[in-house]
Chain A
Amino acid sequence: MTAEQIIFLIVGAVTLIAGLMVVTVRNLVHAALWLVAALFGVAIVYTLLNAGFIAVVQVVVYIGAIAILFIFAVMLTRRQAADTGASVNKNWWAGALMAAATFAGLAFLLQGWSGFSKTASAIPLGFDAVNQLGDALTSPAGYVLPFEVASVLLLAALVGAVYLAFNKK
């Protein structure tokens, strides 16, 4: 095993455990903190894939904004943010079955894909992923239209939020 594989296995295990803790822990703030741990694990996986930009954006957006907003909202609503009810209802077996089926289906599909068992070719020296991403997002031949549509969508959400929060006199 290479060092990278060992790191991947450790990070993957930690991420999975953290994900499990998010849905099983009783205290809502603890759940949010476990979510932060899981998101951080995903960021490390991105780094292992040489996608540094995506990893940093993951930390800035998901941990820096979304998770902190979660904690903020939980703290604002009530002091003892603990859930006392049962954590599963009687349909838990159906959910487990669906999850297992989805995993099996994805594994089956990926087995048939030729790239599944291939080792990734080494990244050439001087390859700048951020430049490539920027070009792809802004060139008309690339993804400029979806990028702009997503921006307009976010702007609409922003305007909606301001409208809802606006104090009508």
Chain B
Amino acid sequence: MNFWNDPLKVAADWLTGILTGWGMNDVAAHVLVAFLGVLVLITILMVIDIFLVWIERKVVSRFQDRIGPNRVGPFGLIQPFADIIKLMIKEDTTPDGADKVVYNIAPMLSMMSVLILWAVVPLAPVMLGVDLNIGVLFIIAAGSIGTLSIIMAGWSSNNKFSVIGAFRCVAVMVSFEIPMLATLLIPTIFSGSMGTNAIIQSQDIWFVLLSPLAALIFLIAAIAELGRAPFDLAEGESELVSGYNIEYSGMKFGMFYAGELLHAFTFGGFWSIMFFGGYRFFGLEQVSPFLAIAIILFKALVGYWIIMWVKYTVMRIRIDQMLAFNWKFLTPVAFVLVMVTALMNALLRGAGSWLYVTGMILSNIIIAWVSLEIVRSVSKKERERVEGLKAMEVAHH
């Protein structure tokens, strides 16, 4: 077992050896090394987060036919550091009548709910925080802490816009959790495990090929959970100024902003873990753990790019349309998909791999087609009803 095959374990053993050599208790040394490991992971994530700001600004400027930050450093690479210094030296304001303790805890909780997700992200076959056998549920649990942080921020700011933003955000997050959980059950059905590492290990065929519809629903639910356009009514700057984080200034606002970017990146990672094979890429992950990390970070960035692509292309939709879209379309489709997938899995398990894949894809296409047909006929009826009402009104006048 050398450093290049299992760097984390070698480094941890080396450090524990030094610490126990200094006469430290064995248990205490293990706890300290685990703590240091968490610290290193979080530090790396925060550094990635700084560059995500740069990536976000560069990509949005390309979508909007601009150049973006290009003055500070090569390609504007130092711009995010300038941004951070600006955020740090800004005045830290607390509004009158704000609930001080809750107001200050909320940004920390928001960042924490994102960082905690990385505990179950397998960076390489041998490198992951903890191999929970309930990794899939853990994602949803961390999401509910994020919801809590937003409701705390909105309520404690003592501002009506922030309260309205928090209301909308919670309504959206609580509703879109359901299709997300349902689609997360589909990789669980395929792999027979809820652990993220086991899900990656069983993806000899990427799950997106088995269930493209589930991958799509997961992406939509993830975008809603992130509160990004077209589901960004919690911020809705044209109506709510900035939504739940309106009163926050300086680094406290920075925590929400950085948390949102890292959250999007993290969900890009989860999308790749659940449906695109995570760190696997034609056996390259077996060569070196470092290559595996590069692969999963690349896939997470691609997912992040797709989320940005959607954000800067699609316009915001109304809250009632959004909730109707979730409860009347996404949730039923996700549930039907889970049931059909479980049934097909039980029927085709013994069959050959080609039959299995074909059956799964066919069932996905049929579900997508039938649900779109239903939606089309319903919307046609609704359109006729509205046009009939208009015609009546015109005749009446």
**Shortest distance in angstroms between A44's beta carbon and chain B's nearest beta carbon?**
12
- Bound-state Cα–Cα, A129 to B170, Å: 32
The CA-CA distance from A36 to B166 in the complex, in Å, is 18
- Knowing A60-B144, A75-B167, A130-B194, the reply to whether A52 touches B134 (Cβ < 8 A) is yes
Chain A residues with CB under 8 Å of B27's CB are 2-3
The main secondary structure of chain B at its interface with chain A is helix
Known: A56-B137, A130-B134. A72 touches B144 (CB 8 A): no
Q: Which of B134, B152, B163 contacts A53 (CB 8 A)?
A: B134
Q: Is B94 part of the contact surface with A, judged by Cβ < 8 Å?
A: no
Residues 30-46 (chain A) with a chain B CB within 8 angstroms = 30, 33, 36
A158 contacts the other chain (Cβ, under 8 Å)?
A: no
| CB pair A64 B147 closer than 8 Å | yes
Contact indicator per residue, chain A 55-95, by CB within 8 Å of chain B (1) or not (0): 01101100111011001100110000000000000000000
The count of residues in chain B whose C-beta lies closer than 8 Å to any C-beta of chain A is 26
Which residue from A3, A36, A68, A128 sits with its C-beta under 8 Å from B170?
Answer: A68
Contact of B140 among A53, A60, A75 (CB under 8 A): A60
Given contacts A33-B102, A64-B177, A68-B170, contact A128 B148 (CB under 8 A): no
**A43 to B, closest residue via Cβ:** B141
| B152 and A33 contact, CB distance less than 8 A | yes
**Considering the complex, which residues of chain A in the window 100-130 have a beta carbon less than 8 Å from any beta carbon of chain B?**
128-130
Q: How far is the CA of A86 from the CA of B143 in the complex (A)?
A: 37
Q: Which of A57, A59, A65, A68 contacts B151 (CB 8 A)?
A: A68
The reply to whether A64 and B141 form a contact with Cβ atoms under 8 Å apart is yes
A168 to chain B minimum Cβ distance, whole angstroms, is 19
B132 contacts partner chain A, Cβ-Cβ < 8 Å = yes
Q: How far is the CA of A48 from the CA of B166 in the complex (A)?
A: 33
For window 26-46 of B, CB contacts with A under 8 Å fall at: 27, 31
Alpha-carbon separation in the docked complex, A52 to B99 (Å)? 34
Q: Which residues of B contact A71 (CB under 8 A)?
A: 151, 155
Query: Which of A30, A59, A76 is B141 in contact with, Cβ under 8 Å?
Result: A59
Whether A75 pairs with B155 at a CB distance below 8 angstroms is: yes
B148 to A67, Cβ gap below 8 A? yes
What is the size, in residues, of chain A's interface with B at 8 Å between Cβ atoms?
24
Whether B133 lies near A130 (C-beta < 8 A) is yes
Bound state CA distance, A67 and B174, in angstroms? 12
Given the known interface contacts A3-B31, A33-B102, the answer about A63 and B148 at a Cβ–Cβ threshold of 8 Å is yes
**What residues on A are CB-neighbors of B163 within 8 Å?**
75
* Minimum CB–CB distance for A80 against chain B, Å: 10
Q: Does B138 have its Cβ within 8 Å of any Cβ on chain A?
A: yes
Give Cα A60–Cα B137 distance, bound, in whole angstroms.
8
Residues of A within 8 Å of B177, CB to CB, are: 64
Contact with A along B124-151 (1 / 0, CB 8 A): 0000000011100110110111011001
In the assembled complex, A22 has its CB within 8 A of some CB on chain B: no
Q: How far is the CA of A157 from the CA of B133 in the complex (A)?
A: 31
Residues on B with beta carbons closer than 8 Å to the beta carbon of A64: 140-141, 143-145, 147-148, 174, 177
B-chain residues with CB within 8 Å of residue A18 when the two chains form the complex: none
Q: Which residues of A contact B143 (CB under 8 A)?
A: 64
User: Residue B133 contacts which of A3, A33, A76, A128 (CB distance < 8 angstroms)?
Assistant: A128
Query: Could you mark each residue 268-306 of chain B with 1 if its beta carbon is under 8 Å from any beta carbon of chain A, else 0?
Result: 000000000000000000000000000000000000000
Residues of A within 8 A of B147 (CB): 64, 68
Given contacts A57-B137, A75-B163, contact A63 B145 (CB under 8 A): yes
- The minimal Cβ–Cβ distance linking B11 to chain A, given in whole angstroms, is 22
Closest CB-CB distance, B345 to chain A, in whole Å? 15
In this complex, what residue of A is CB-closest to B140? A60
Q: Which of A72, A129, A130 contacts B167 (CB 8 A)?
A: A72
> What residues of B have a CB within 8 angstroms of the CB of A72 in the complex?
151, 167, 170
Neighbouring B residues of A76 by C-beta, 8 Å: 167
User: How many angstroms between the C-alpha atoms of A59 and B148 in the bound complex?
Assistant: 11
Query: Once bound together, how far apart are the Cα atoms of A3 and B140, in whole Å?
Result: 29
Known A-B contacts A60-B144, A68-B144; A29 and B155 likewise in contact (beta carbons under 8 Å)? yes
In the docked arrangement, what's the CA distance between A63 and B31, Å?
28
A-B contact pairs, 5 of them (CB 8 A): A3-B31, A56-B140, A64-B143, A67-B148, A68-B147
Given A3-B27, A60-B144, 5 further pairs, Cβ under 8 A? A53-B133, A64-B140, A64-B174, A68-B174, A75-B163
